[in-house]
Amino acid sequence: MTDQFNNQNGYGQPGQPIPPAQGYQQPGYQHSYTQPVVDAQNPRKTSSGRTFGTAFAGAALACVIAFGGFTVYQNVTGTPSGSSVTLGASTNTEIQAQSTDDTLPEAVAQKCLPSVAAIDVYTAQASTDMFGRSTSSSGALTESSLGSGVVLSEDGYIVTNNHVVAGADALKVTVGGEEYDADVVGTDESSDIAVIKLRNASGLTPVEIGDSDNLTIGEWVMSIGSPFGLEQSVATGIVSATSRSQIMSNSESSGSDGYGYGYGGSSSQSGGYTIYPNMIQTDAAINPGNSGGALVDSNGKLIGINTLITSYSGNYSGVGFAIPVNYAVNIAQQIIEGKTPTHAQLGVSLSTVNSQNAKRYGLKVDSGAYISAVNSGSGAAEAGLEEGDIVTKFDGNSVSSASDLMLDVRSKNPGDKVTLEVNRNGDTKQVEVTLGSDESSQSAATQQNSGSSSSEMLNRLLNNSGSSSKNDAA
């Protein structure tokens, strides 16, 4: 089963996994937009990965993992819905080096640097009244954060993190020594993936796409991006671990990084959740500005999108995380084709079982994921799962909480068959389930995003009225 960063390792206390600290001086280059004034006591903050939380410990909180912030700007990109775009380089090359310590880093850097972009994010300045409420926008654009991205096509499709571009009013992207204006093609908040498109770009160097399903712990890797705004920076390391997974509440993390600076630098993040399944852990340096950049292997092939770190200080301390490329490119492809990104779904509402509530309610097991509702027509319903079942294993791996089961489901694809071990009134049963898709709930979230509060949307998506606040969905 996927690893959990839960209380057993002390996370949730000072020193828990957090985004890179957002504070550094502006480098010496100039942009055509008005630059912000950097306060020496409170330097400008940057976009970065968010804190790994200890979500869903004990009694479960409300969430819908299908809840996402997806937008498509076909009128800007000129890409019709359903069009086929080939992502990644059309040819593959092998790197030959005499030794890892000698020429390999040089060869990989030379190959990959043209495929990694620096993204500068600008937002409109808003006026506020005496109570701190926004009253109007002056129209002036100020650089509010920055990040990195990876070139997927010759005409300028770039994959990055959603938290890098969330709330952006304008984007300036530097790649191959040239600066471009760019537009957001689409985002998937629940997986922290976004795609942007450079205007009037051609002849770019797409990255070669590797395979994140066949990584070896200890293998050599390189991280590439713009730490602290220093474009075209590389750092080497190894794959420290795989299958590191976590769920994070966007609303809880917004503005909670210690700098009063929200997740991705934007207050536009919804009250949804971001699911990080099977992330790659590395000791290659990841710092503020690296978010959305490349993690590549010894052949210069993309294996991950750099996203998060664990640190006491907020800066690099040897533990970083990247979204696996197979997962990231699948989401990016759906966005480019004008689709709403979809993920595997079991079709149930869940609560966490622990020793306290098991004793209180007379449950037969003291850990697992309690099924409080089964959605009609879902894979769970067709497999015969019932309200009151407690899921204790997923494909043979232990399930100790609702978040465990949600992460296990997200690590699969729609249509995959999985075997659940459930406890039903004290009897243990093996149930085979064909996972469905969250397409309908994703579409509902998109349609309601402009006119409803997050709590109203959660209730609609769960179809569970007032009781939704006590259930998770998978």
Report the C-alpha gap between 427 and 388 in whole angstroms: 12
Report the C-alpha gap between 429 and 123 in whole angstroms: 54
Name the one residue in this structure whose structure tokens are 């040819």: 91
Q: How many CB atoms lie within 10 A of CB 156?
A: 24
User: What's the distance, CA 222 to chain centroid?
Assistant: 20
Query: DSSP for 142-191?
Result: EEEEEEEEEE-STT-EEEEEHHHHTT-SEEEEEETTEEEEEEEEEEETTT
Annotated catalytic residue: which of 192, 257, 283, 472?
A: 192
Name the one residue in this structure whose structure tokens are 């310590």: 101
Is residue 68 within 8 Å of residue 189, measured between CB atoms? yes
Residue 245, classed as helix, strand or coil, is strand
Report the C-alpha gap between 77 and 80 in whole angstroms: 9
Annotated catalytic residue: which of 233, 291, 372, 400?
A: 291
Report the C-alpha gap between 145 and 264 in whole angstroms: 8
**For this structure, is 155 an active site residue?**
no
Tokens of 334: 């759906």
Element (H, E) at 309: strand 301-310
Report the C-alpha gap between 223 and 115 in whole angstroms: 12
> Which residue type is seen at 84?
S
Is residue 341 within 8 Å of residue 334, measured between CB atoms? yes
Tokens of 240: 């420290």
Annotated catalytic residue: which of 163, 240, 266, 411?
A: 163
In the chain, DSSP finds a helix count (H) and a strand count (E) of 10, 24
Name the one residue in this structure whose structure tokens are 């959990």: 4
**For this structure, is 257 an active site residue?**
no
Q: How many CB atoms lie within 10 A of CB 393?
A: 19
User: CA angle 264-250-452, nearest 5°?
Assistant: 105
Report the C-alpha gap between 50 and 426 in whole angstroms: 40
**For this structure, is 137 an active site residue?**
no
Q: How many CB atoms lie within 10 A of CB 75?
A: 8
Going from the C-alpha of 81 to that of each of 78, 336, 339, the distances in angstroms are: 10, 8, 7
Report the C-alpha gap between 108 and 135 in whole angstroms: 50
Indicate which residues carry an active-site annotation.
163, 192, 291
